[in-house]
Amino acid sequence: MRIVVAGAGIGGLSAAVALERDGHEVVVVERAPQLTEVGAAIVLGPHAMRVLDHLGVAPCLRERNTPPQSSTYYDMVDGEARVHTELGEVGHALYGATLYSAHRRDVIDCLAGQLQRTQIRLNSTVADVEQNDRAATLVLEGGERITGDIVVAADGIRSTLRARLFGETPATFTGFLAWRTVLPIEKLGHALPPATKLWIGAGRHVVHYPIRHGTQFYAAFYVPADEIHREDWSTSGDVEGLRASFADACPEVRALTQAVDEAFITGIYYRDPLPTWSHGRVVLVGDAAHPVLPTSGSGAAVAIEDAVALTRCLTRFPSDHAAAFVDFQRRRQPRTTRLLISSRADLATYHEENPVKIAARAPMNRAVMRLDPTGFHRLGWLYAHDEVAESAKDSDTFSRTNLAPPERPAARRAFDLWANALKPEDSLDGWVSERAAFKRFEQANFPVPEGVLVEPIDCDGVPAWRVSPPGASRGRTVLHLHGGAFIFGSGEGEIALAARIAAQLDAVAIVPQFRCMPEHAPGAMLEDVRKVHDWSRARAQVALLSASASGANIALRLVQTLRDEGAALPGDLVLLSPFLRFDMRSPSIEANAPSEAWLSPRRLLQATAAYLQDHEPDDPRVAALAGNLHGLPPIHIYAALGEALADDARLCAEQVKAAGGTARLTLVAESVHVYPMFPWLEETHAFLADLAAMASVRQAG
């Protein structure tokens, strides 16, 4: 095929290298007078380096650079380390390739150096495209026309071709600008170890690392747009303005601003995901298709991934470019959309100005550092991705994701609900927007059964709901503690579950809305639950304490406290998919990842860090299983065999029995997290029948 590529940036040149290797005749059209990029460096993650290795480009980059050994986030003002990621050899072992940082010019040179037959047309600005059922023709400014079988539009975030094909829509300005520079290391006055540093603070962040074997350094300073008073951002700004923006920063950042004597300014933009990436014989790649924010550190990486993906699709459909383009978009859109959204969420987190969220972030980040010292749980999805292997899969194999949902249609329905409980875009305002989205998920899917009376009550200052199934006796109470990974859940969302449980015991349920994490200290949950328990206990016997997921840990902590004080204990404890282990080391987290639709390792890390904060995972003040389990009421545990928390359920049963207590464990095959939330499942019916039997034994006794 003869393929015309518009744009000789990293995306266009990568596409050219991949297409040429596959035997296509390639012409690259670039408006710049020369192939170069000034004043900036770039991080090429393991996912990019793996593809560059496949394309034969990586050795050239390795020759010019020393890989960073780590990447660390620091607080902008106090300079303290917040989150650390291991790179270098550790990263290689985790992700199968090593992350490099490089001068953009070197990346361009190494890519171009790999081209043998491709023609690169500089000083050629694309103005338009024309196509018919046999060919596509780029029309250059000045009227020259270049024709190919297909056109690959790699002309960046302000793509002319996208505008021509889909209409002109402006990119969204984030309100931030970046001062970027690459300078000789001598300007800094000292050598730099091979490591990447990021400082984050209210409304600004800084990225800094050495390149070219430490002979030069890169620095990028992101600031609010109104801190730069210029009409034209493209040229070097007055660095006094830069220094003023970081006058309150920690000494290392201030020293860095002093070392900078020139920097050029870039506006930071993104676009919402495009619904369609191709039109006729023209296909968009890289920033033209999916421009992400620099906070992802991966815009170029995914443009490089696109190159190999598109080339393989064209090989798979050699005489049907339309099918190849559809396949290409289907394969690449989910990943790039996720990256776009996470890069926006990261920008909001980096620049957070809300004091409540800033205060909550520090202890949570310290926990993340302890629980995920290499960074694998956070970055595995991005860095471990192997586009060379993915794009080699045929369409059918590719369609089968790594997820292994239950085969039973009823359980599959519950699995799909969990899988879609939160969408990537729900994370745009961190846990605040995720919590709101989770509430919408609960309201939409777990309506209160008909005939159940729900009354908001105040239990000594803690809000709760009194849930009365038809004909329930007020002499008996079920206290139900909701789950939601310590961060998201709400009492309201589990009213339906609590009503069904209470109905089996002919009791009224009390469902507290306790304070959640991370904006509160871990002890707040227990404090609130204790108040609601005492309020309930003063009015009726607490026949049963039921809890789902993270609520189970609070339930156990509550009965431990009551036992220690010699207070009356609830009759029985029912724990649904209990979340009880906080060291992120349960084998079922990784082993069951394919059959777990909700609690991915990443979400478990987020939840655990939000809860633990500055506590250790085995601190008995927060982790019930680390405390004394002797003398507790009988415990009935229900979980799915294939869920991430299956080992927590097993461990709980073992430890309670080892402490001389009674624990009954029911693990259901082919089911989902907290399955009793889904009334249509047969295992939910069995669970409710169990409760009814338990209640009648109690009543008979």
| 387 forms part of the interface with ligand FAD (CB under 6 A) | no
| 211 forms part of the interface with ligand FAD (CB under 6 A) | no
Stretch that binds ligand FAD, among 24-32, 78-86, 383-391, 641-649 (CB under 6 A): 24-32
Stretch that binds ligand FAD, among 182-190, 282-290, 358-366, 429-437 (CB under 6 A): 282-290
Nearer to ligand FAD, 31 or 197 (CB): 31
Cα separation, 517 vs 484, whole angstroms:
10
Nearer to ligand FAD, 12 or 578 (CB): 12
Nearer to ligand FAD, 4 or 508 (CB): 4
Helix 46-54 to helix 376-383 angle, to the nearest 10 degrees? Answer: 30
What are the angstrom distances between the C-alpha of 123 and each of 12, 29, 31, 48, 116?
15, 8, 5, 28, 20
DSSP codes, 358-421: HHHHHHHHHHHHHH-TTSHHHHHHHHS--HHHHHHS-HHHHHS-S----SSHHHHHHHHHHHTS
| 220 forms part of the interface with ligand FAD (CB under 6 A) | yes
| 300 forms part of the interface with ligand FAD (CB under 6 A) | yes
| 627 forms part of the interface with ligand FAD (CB under 6 A) | no
| 299 forms part of the interface with ligand FAD (CB under 6 A) | yes
Buried b (16+ CB within 10 A) or exposed e, 177-207: bbbbbbbebeebeeebebbbbbbbbbbbbbb
The 3-state DSSP class for residue 91 equals helix
Q: Applying CB under 6 A, which of residues 3, 5, 9, 372 lies at the interface with ligand FAD?
A: 9
Closest approach of ligand FAD to the CB of residue 116, in Å:
20
Q: Which helix (H) or strand (E) holds 173?
A: strand 172-184
Closest approach of ligand FAD to the CB of residue 285, in Å:
7
Closest approach of ligand FAD to the CB of residue 355, in Å:
28
Nearer to ligand FAD, 35 or 626 (CB): 35
Closest approach of ligand FAD to the CB of residue 75, in Å:
22
The 3-state DSSP class for residue 635 equals strand
And the tokens for 538?
A: 């003063």
The 3-state DSSP class for residue 156 equals coil
Cα separation, 271 vs 286, whole angstroms:
12
Q: 74 near 80, Cβ under 8 Å?
A: yes
What are the angstrom distances between the C-alpha of 568 and each of 508, 532, 537, 564, 629?
19, 14, 9, 10, 16
Closest approach of ligand FAD to the CB of residue 496, in Å:
45
Q: Applying CB under 6 A, which of residues 3, 4, 6, 558 lies at the interface with ligand FAD?
A: 6
Nearer to ligand FAD, 10 or 509 (CB): 10
Nearer to ligand FAD, 11 or 273 (CB): 11
| 237 forms part of the interface with ligand FAD (CB under 6 A) | no
Stretch that binds ligand FAD, among 238-246, 293-301, 375-383, 441-449 (CB under 6 A): 293-301
Q: Applying CB under 6 A, which of residues 5, 8, 177, 368 lies at the interface with ligand FAD?
A: 8
Stretch that binds ligand FAD, among 85-93, 284-292, 350-358, 486-494 (CB under 6 A): 284-292
Closest approach of ligand FAD to the CB of residue 9, in Å:
2
Q: Applying CB under 6 A, which of residues 125, 137, 433, 655 lies at the interface with ligand FAD?
A: 125
Nearer to ligand FAD, 285 or 511 (CB): 285
Site string for ligand FAD, 143-182 (x = CB under 6 A): -----------xxx---x-----------------x-x--
| 287 forms part of the interface with ligand FAD (CB under 6 A) | yes
Cα separation, 246 vs 258, whole angstroms:
10
Cα separation, 498 vs 673, whole angstroms:
16
Nearer to ligand FAD, 303 or 462 (CB): 303
Q: Applying CB under 6 A, which of residues 110, 301, 417, 502 lies at the interface with ligand FAD?
A: 301
Q: Applying CB under 6 A, which of residues 7, 201, 551, 570 lies at the interface with ligand FAD?
A: 7
Size of the site for ligand FAD (CB under 6 A): 33
Stretch that binds ligand FAD, among 85-93, 285-293, 428-436, 513-521 (CB under 6 A): 285-293
Q: 401 near 385, Cβ under 8 Å?
A: no
Stretch that binds ligand FAD, among 295-303, 318-326, 405-413, 431-439 (CB under 6 A): 295-303
Site string for ligand FAD, 27-66 (x = CB under 6 A): --xxxx---------xx-----------------------
Cα separation, 448 vs 428, whole angstroms:
30
Nearer to ligand FAD, 8 or 507 (CB): 8
Nearer to ligand FAD, 163 or 259 (CB): 163
| 263 forms part of the interface with ligand FAD (CB under 6 A) | no
Closest approach of ligand FAD to the CB of residue 676, in Å:
45
DSSP codes, 526-563: HHHHHHHHHHHHTTSEEEEEEEETHHHHHHHHHHHHHH
**Among residues 457, 423, 416, 452, which one has the least CA distance to residue 440?**
423
Cα separation, 395 vs 317, whole angstroms:
11
394 by Cβ neighbours in 10 Å (0-12 / 13-18 / 19+) ranks as: exposed
Buried b (16+ CB within 10 A) or exposed e, 576-601: bbbbbbbebebebbeebbebbbbbbb
Cis before 601 (ω within 30): no
Closest approach of ligand FAD to the CB of residue 668, in Å:
44
Closest approach of ligand FAD to the CB of residue 522, in Å:
36
The 3-state DSSP class for residue 193 equals coil
Q: Applying CB under 6 A, which of residues 266, 374, 546, 586 lies at the interface with ligand FAD?
A: 266
Q: Which helix (H) or strand (E) holds 337?
A: helix 321-350
What are the angstrom distances between the C-alpha of 116 and each of 15, 88, 119, 392, 701?
14, 32, 9, 24, 87
**Among residues 549, 557, 532, 550, which one has the least CA distance to residue 479?**
532
**Torsion region of 96: left, alpha or beta (phi above 0 gives left; psi -120 to 50 gives alpha):** left
Residues that bind ligand FAD (CB under 6 A): 6-12, 29-32, 42-43, 125-126, 154-156, 160, 178, 180, 220, 266, 286-288, 294, 297-301, 303
